[in-house]
Amino acid sequence: MTSVGIIVVAAGSGTRLGANQPKAFVEVRGVPMLERALGNVLGSVEPAQVVVVAPASHLAAARSIAARAAGAAAGSVFVVEGGATRQDSVANGLAALAESVEVVLVHDAARALTPSVLFDRVVRAVRASGSGIIPSLPVADTIKRVADDRVLETVDRSSLVHVQTPQGFPRAQLVAAYASARQEFTDDAALFAEAGHPVSVVEGEARAFKITTPWDLARAENVLGISSATRTGVGIDVHAYDAAQPLWLGGLYWPDEVGLAGHSDGDALCHAICDALLSAAGLGDIGGRFGTDDPRFAGAHGDVFLGETVALVEGAGWAVGNVAVQLIAKHPRLGARRTELESHLTTLVGAPVSVSATTSDGLGFTGRAEGVAVIATALVHRA
């Protein structure tokens, strides 16, 4: 019989993170936040019943993550639907606890890197004290009280702490406190204290920080190691020659050269780079991002697409490391303008772009001089 229950709330939308899915399902170094959080929860020494509270839209996803994280212990992990507020979500989790549970921990999935030892520390302290227990860390910054922009005073920070989760409580008292709560509280300990129960602190953990903004996500990835915060991407573009068109390639105009056909200016070099950058950042591809029927891009030059693409990539929290691009074509010959091309593209992308060219030895459509092919790779890393 497990006497510990751990509720992992993961039903928030993650508005401040701004990803295209609920926050707990966003990956940190290739593993969803919820899966990382559960791995740490299940790594605690004390056997526990784990209740995951997930968004209604993601119950199946949460179940498969829970099964993966729990492995053989899958029978002790349950998934229930969340509510409109965090407090509602915790209440739903409480309702799913097994009868044998005496100590309840409530934990944010968003604190995905919380070390397992913290769960054991909180459980031990609840048992020893019979009160509510919250992990805390001292406040490092000087704190000021302000009104509008005006500083009123320096607050004595020696009595201030940051608080984290997991927060632990005797089950019966927490359930009763939830049943009688008549307002929204910012954490479970505040709700518990309002019902008249004592709350004490134990030492928290730096790694238990909450992932709220893209900056926090980058921090979590850095804490886990720089490697997976680096990604590569690939892009290919092909355009047919069109003798009626001027040639634009790599954002430059090429007088006296046969042009390329296309909805835009046919700049296969810029387009392949865009695809490589979008691919590296996991943002899809140029066709999906800039619809061919979008009048803004009809006849647009390659540098317009490139500028928009770099803004998208940076907006998603990535910095471009470098780009390599190769033209496969009979003409134009790039040699004489290679340096000019590289410096122009480097300025557009804001990172080194290397350009090379080859022919296909007379084979295929490039060999028959029907058109050009371009292949590009890009490296991005967390900004």
Would you call 322 exposed, middle or buried from its count of C-beta atoms within 10 A (0-12, 13-18, 19+)? middle
Rounded to the nearest whole angstrom, what is the least distance from the CB of residue 187 to ligand CTP in the complex? 9
Q: Which of residues 175-234 bind ligand CTP (CB under 6 A)?
A: 210, 212
The gap between the terminal CA atoms of the chain, to the nearest Å, is 47
Residue 147 contact partner, candidates ligand CTP, Mg ion, none, CB within 5 to 8 A by sort of partner: none
Other beta carbons within 10 angstroms of residue 296's beta carbon come to: 9
By beta-carbon distance, which residue lies closest to ligand CTP?
12
Q: What is the dihedral of CA 292, 293, 294, 295, to 10 degrees?
A: 110
* Residue 52 vs 286, nearer CB to Mg ion: 52
d(C-alpha 316, C-alpha 207), whole Å: 24
Judged by CB under 6 A, the chain residues 22 through 61 that form the site for ligand CTP are: 23-24, 53
Closest CB to ligand CTP among residues 287, 315: 315
Q: Contact, 114 vs 207, CB < 8 A?
A: yes
Q: How far is the CB of 182 from ligand CTP (least distance, A)?
A: 18
Burial of 170 (C-beta count, 10 Å sphere; 0-12/13-18/19+):
buried
CB of 373 to ligand CTP, least distance (A): 44
Contact in structure between 94 and 78 (CB atoms under 8 Å): no
Q: What is the pattern of x (binds ligand CTP, CB under 6 A) and - over residues 54-93?
A: ----------------------------xxxxx--x----
211 or 306: whose CB is closer to Mg ion? 211
- How many other β-carbons are positioned within 10 Å of the β-carbon of residue 42? 20
21 binds ligand CTP (CB under 6 A): no
In angstroms, give the least distance from the CB of 108 to Mg ion: 9
Nearest distance from residue 178's CB to Mg ion, in Å?
A: 18
The CB-nearest residue to Mg ion is 12
All residues at 6 or more sequence positions from 229 whose CB lies less than 8 Å from its CB, including other chains: 29, 218, 221, 222, 381, 382
Residue 141 to residue 139: CA distance in whole angstroms: 6
CB-nearer residue toward ligand CTP: 13 or 354: 13
Among Mg ion, ligand CTP, none, what does residue 122 contact (CB within 5–8 Å per kind)? none
Closer residue to ligand CTP (CB): 210 or 381 = 210
Q: Give, for 289, the enclosing helix (H) or strand (E).
A: helix 286-289
Binding residue for ligand CTP, selected from 1, 15, 196, 244, defined by CB under 6 A = 15
List interacting residues with Mg ion (CB under 5 A): 12
Least spacing, CB of residue 14 vs Mg ion, in Å: 8
Distant-in-sequence, close-in-space partners of 59: CB < 8 Å, separation ≥ 6: 79, 81
**Looking only at Cα atoms, what is the longest distance across the chain?**
85
98-157 residues in contact with ligand CTP (CB under 6 A) are 108-110
Instruction: Spell out the residues 6+ positions from residue 325 whose beta carbon is closer than 8 angstroms to its own.
Output: 269, 272, 273, 276, 345, 353, 354, 355, 356, 374, 375, 376, 377
Q: Which of 6, 7, 9, 380 forms a contact with ligand CTP (CB under 6 A)? A: 9
Contact residues for ligand CTP, defined by CB under 6 A: 9-16, 23-24, 53, 82-86, 89, 108-110, 210, 212
